Amino acid sequence: MNKKYINENLFGKRILIMGGAGFIGSNLALYFQTFHPEAETIVFDHFRNEEKFENGNLKFLGDYRNLLNFRGEIIAGNINSSQDLNKIRDIRPNYIFFESAISDTTVKDQKLMIETNVNAFKNILYIAKDFGAKVIYASSASVYGDSISPQTVGFEEPKNIYGFSKLMMDQTAVKYSKEYFIDIIGLRYFNVYGRNEYFKGKTSSMILQFGLQILNGSAPRLFENSNKIFRDFVYIEDVIQANVLAMVGFGKTGIYNIGTGKARSFQDIADILQRELNVNLGNIYIPNPYVEQYQFYTEADISQTSMRLNYRPTYSLEKGIADYIPEIKQIFKTYGKI
């Protein structure tokens, strides 16, 4: 945690973080604990078990180890359970950060994806309406598919059920904000990386995966033509900044891109990591098995995000990786690999 992003006094406010044991949610929980101890921060999460999707990846990624330094209240629950969601009503939240969803872009179970990412989200909005809570939720750059870069809100072409579910979340948010006068802000994350992502397993960022491969003495394994595959990689610190800025003020309801505004290649990641780790192991190139549903160029148009939320990304890919290296080394020392 490097910076306090707002100066508001949140005394007596109840901040509920759905998915608070996951990657982004745990970072938010620890941010508020560090910089706004006057608020009451509550984590809601299913927590991981051995259940898996048909692709072999874990269904639930929240892990207690992301919250070892957290001292607030923790509630175990499933967002698809109406009984578990009733626990939220007892909290009477002022702010809801919704980071609970299926984030695995390779899941093909369409019914489960819609139930979890759309229907459960709608139930959260009903709760927000009843208590006048402000909602900040995780959307995704996957809604854009192969649309022309820089990707701009209003020009979406999802290529898989995950991207479609996130677009439906966005449309639901717009509808409910108008019908029920709820203050709702959607943040379309581009490729987020940084601390506490290890427990995402195979869906963790390639920055972490390449870093662990290199520390193991292996050349990073990239898809063929990785010098021509571009993403907008955004460091966790800038994602926290965006979430916190979104919670203050009124009249900002809408959907915003969260990235750096500068696309970089996967080859750049491998090269920067090897420079930072003082090695030159070369690269191994493998066929891309996801060609039909793959995004080959993403770059966030952050003009509206900067104008309306006062968001200013401060981490280039080089700076973000350099800041992340100590944790990657610690992960390798503790776990070895994903």
Residues of the chain with confidence (pLDDT) below 70: 250, 293
- The two counts, helices (H) then strands (E), for the chain are 10, 13
**In-domain check, residue 210:** no
- Would you tell me how many other CB atoms lie within 10 Å of the CB of residue 219? 17
For residue 126, give the nearest of 96, 148, 103, 162 by alpha carbon. 96
Please report whether residue 168 resides in a domain. yes
Dist CA 299 CA 284 (whole Å): 26
- pLDDT computed for residue 253 by the predictor: 92
Beta bridge partners of 22: none
pTM: 0.95
Within a domain: 287: no
Rounded Cα distance between 189 and 255, Å, is 11
Q: What is the pLDDT of residue 293?
A: 67
For residue 314, the model assigns a pLDDT of 97
Q: For residue 338, what pLDDT is reported?
A: 79
Q: Given this model, what pLDDT does residue 275 score? A: 98
Q: Is residue 198 part of a domain?
A: no
Q: How many CB atoms lie within 10 A of CB 258?
A: 28
Residue 333 lies in a domain: no
Q: In what order do the strands lie in the sheet with 134-140?
A: 73-76, 40-45, 14-18, 95-98, 134-140, 184-189, 254-258
Q: Which CATH number does the domain housing residue 60 bear?
A: 3.40.50.720
Within a domain: 33:
yes
Residue ranges making up the domain that contains 39: 14-193+236-260+297-314
Quick check: is 71 in a domain?
yes
Give the pLDDT of residue 337.
82
The continuous run of DSSP H or E covering 31 comes out as helix 23-35
Element (H, E) at 127: helix 120-131
Is 4 inside any structural domain?
Answer: no
Burial-class residue 121 by CB neighbours within 10 Å (0-12, 13-18, 19+): buried
Q: Which residues carry out catalysis?
A: 162, 200
Total tally of structural domains belonging to the chain: 1
